[in-house]
Amino acid sequence: MFERYLAALEYPAEGGINIDNPKEFRNIVLWLEDQKIRHYTIEDRANLRKVGSSDEWDPAYVKYKLDLKFPTDLKSKSEELTWLFLYAIKLEYSDNADRYRPVTAARKLDEEKKATAAPEIKSTNPFDNIDFTSADFEEGSRKLAEKLGVAYHPDHLVSLRASGRVISTQFNKETLKEPIITGKPFPLDEGAGMGFNKEPDMEKAARILRLLQIQSVRKLQTAINETIVSVQNITADPRTDTSLGKVGMK
């Protein structure tokens, strides 16, 4: 789950981390503070080093979160650790800006242009100058997802893709012109089941996937209908000159 963050921060251990293991979670928090964040002096990190004692480490971690000004809306260890990773990456970039600047998207595009020796074309796409891996971009993606009610995901690009779908379906010109009337919520637990009676979580997930598939099929049918109408408008146009058509080749 955190492989990209660990790789970006050059974490020495391999195979990822298991945050459900209290000792592993405490160790990664301590490593981030020791090696990357360094908010405390070495002496003040004493209680954070007591990873084997929950009675001493847990209160120290609560104080650490207050001192770092953690966002108050983080509800799980996964969200807290993600915030810590992003904060550490931000500090790492600030301390080594000259080292990381060459790998930004704009610099990469410049190098590719020089390598191909093609005529220089100035891009007008504003996204070409954005570093999608930067801590600020990840934080902005997370805040956008929160405003749109998109569920949290550790990969900010997945959250951003979901936010894009919400915006394109709920905030396009047609929808804003004629807002869809909110109806009665669909009773997810009613109707024919999916065969996972003994596994409630699997049953719920399968029912949600079924609804998504129905929505996808309806969108496809709408697109087909619109295509048919467009073709009919062309073929039914009295201005169409069939004599201009050719069959076969000379």
What's the rounded Cα separation, in Å, for the pair 8 and 88? Answer: 10
Residue 240 forms part of a structural domain: no
| Residue 212 and residue 122 share a domain | no
Range of the domain at 202: 193-234
**Phi/psi at 12 (nearest 5 deg)?**
-70, -30
- Is the whole-model pTM more than 0.85? no
Whether residue 148 is contained in a domain is answered as: yes
Both 47 and 164 in one domain: the answer is yes
Residues 130 and 11 occupy one common structural domain: yes
Among the ranges given (187-196, 211-220, 238-247), the one the predictor scored with the smallest mean pLDDT: 238-247
Q: Choose the weakest-confidence range: 28-42, 108-122, 125-139.
A: 108-122
Both 171 and 223 in one domain: the answer is no
Q: Are residues 156 and 203 in the same domain?
A: no
User: Are 139 and 205 within one domain?
Assistant: no
Q: Is residue 90 domain-shared with residue 164, that is, in the same domain?
A: yes
Mean pLDDT of 208-217: 86
Whether residues 204 and 166 fall in one domain? no
Residue 37 is given by DSSP the state I
Q: How much is the average pLDDT of 39-67?
A: 92
Across the range 29-39, mean pLDDT stands at 91
Question: pLDDT value at position 157?
Answer: 86
Per the structure, the count of domains in the chain is 2
13: left (phi over 0), alpha (psi -120 to 50) or beta: beta
Q: Is residue 186 part of a domain?
A: no
Task: Quote the pLDDT of residue 241.
Answer: 57
Q: Which residue has the tokens 């894009």?
A: 164
pLDDT attached to residue 98: 58
Domain identity same for 113 and 159: yes
Q: Residue 159, exposed/middle/buried by CB under 10 A (0-12, 13-18, 19+)? A: buried
Same domain, 138 and 24: yes
